[in-house]
Chain A
Amino acid sequence: EPEVTQTPSHQVTQMGQEVILRCVPISNHLYFYWYRQILGQKVEFLVSFYNNEISEKSEIFDDQFSVERPDGSNFTLKIRSTKLEDSAMYFCASSDGGGTGNEQFFGPGTRLTVL
């Protein structure tokens, strides 16, 4: 069964460093998303991406964040200069259409720890 994969599963970095979180969405999907979950808190939407551009971003997704689909398979989230408060689980998701009934398939997440 096709699935969304994410690497690495756990990333530890120093404050101020750049990190890139990688995702491989399901191959025929066109819509891509990043969410994050700070420990003990709810899952929050960060950004949606379609046709090589951002569709919507939340207020969390400031200038320190960027997304890219560098090739036909990967979808990346970059944090330019990490802060302590960026420590969270980051989930990638994809769907095959923009229709409101379409299911988003989630990856297993990358746990980011900023020291």
Chain B
Amino acid sequence: AQSVTQLGSHVSVSEGALVLLRCNYSSSVPPYLFWYVQYPNQGLQLLLKYTTGATLVKGINGFEAEFKKSETSFHLTKPSAHMSDAAEYFCAVRGGYNKLIFGAGTRLAVHP
């Protein structure tokens, strides 16, 4: 069975600083991994996904994530945080019948 663990329910960074949101997964099959972002009062928007191929995946809004099989990780990074990045971020792994299995989420705060 698949599962996802997100380390840190709240992360706070200064504007312009590096953003690092951690995600570890467990999967008995090669994983398909996703990062979604949720802005206040909105639905979930896909940031990026890893299926096969290149392990460094680039997404929208300057975010990227690296799939590391040896570490069972898929951490999300952005070199320079912007105030508009403040949101909740969810890591997910694809389960059976294409359902998504989500982590608990990390709320990112960006301060001036």
Q: Does B80 contact A (CB under 8 A)?
A: no
The secondary-structure label for the interface of chain B is mixed
Cβ proximity bits B83-106 to A, threshold 8 Å, 1 near / 0 not: 000000010101111111111110
* A43 with B43: CB separation less than 8 A: no
The 0/1 profile, CB within 8 Å of B marked 1, for residues 1-15 of chain A is 000100000000000
Segment of A62-70, A80-88, A104-112 engaged in the interface with chain B: A104-112
A-B contacts, CB under 8 A, total: 63
Task: Knowing A31-B98, A42-B105, A44-B102, say if A103 contacts B46 (CB, 8 Å).
Answer: yes
A31 nearest CB across to chain B (Å): 7
CB distance from A49 to the nearest CB of B (A): 10
Distance (whole angstroms) from the CB of A46 to the closest CB of chain B:
9
Known: A48-B97, A56-B97. A42 touches B102 (CB 8 A): yes
A72 within 8 A of B: no
In the assembled complex, B41 has its CB within 8 A of some CB on chain A? yes
Say whether, besides A98-B98, A103-B49, A91 and B43 are in contact (CB < 8 Å).
yes
Whether A42 and B49, one on each chain, are in contact in the complex, defined by CB atoms closer than 8 angstroms, is no
**Chain B residues whose C-beta falls within 8 Å of the C-beta of A103 in the assembled complex:** 46, 49
| Across-interface contacts of A99 in B (CB, < 8 A) | 98
- Shortest Cβ gap from B17 to chain A (Å): 27
Chain B residues with CB below 8 A from A109, complex form: 43
Counting contact residues on chain A (CB < 8 A from B), the size range is 20 to 34
Cβ-based interface call for B14 (8 A): no
Q: Which residues of B contact A108 (CB under 8 A)?
A: 41-43
Determine if B95 and A45 form an interchain contact, defined as CB atoms under 8 angstroms apart: yes
Q: Do A95 and B100 touch (CB < 8 A)?
A: no
Is the CB of B44 closer than 8 A to any CB of chain A? yes
Q: How far is the CB of A106 from chain B (nearest CB, A)?
A: 4
B103 touches A101 (CB 8 A): no
The answer on a CB contact under 8 Å between A56 and B99 is yes
Closest beta carbon of chain A to B104's beta carbon, Å: 5
In the bound complex, CA of A108 to CA of B43 (Å): 4
A and B contact pairs by CB, cutoff 8 A, 5 listed = A43-B102, A48-B97, A56-B97, A107-B43, A108-B41
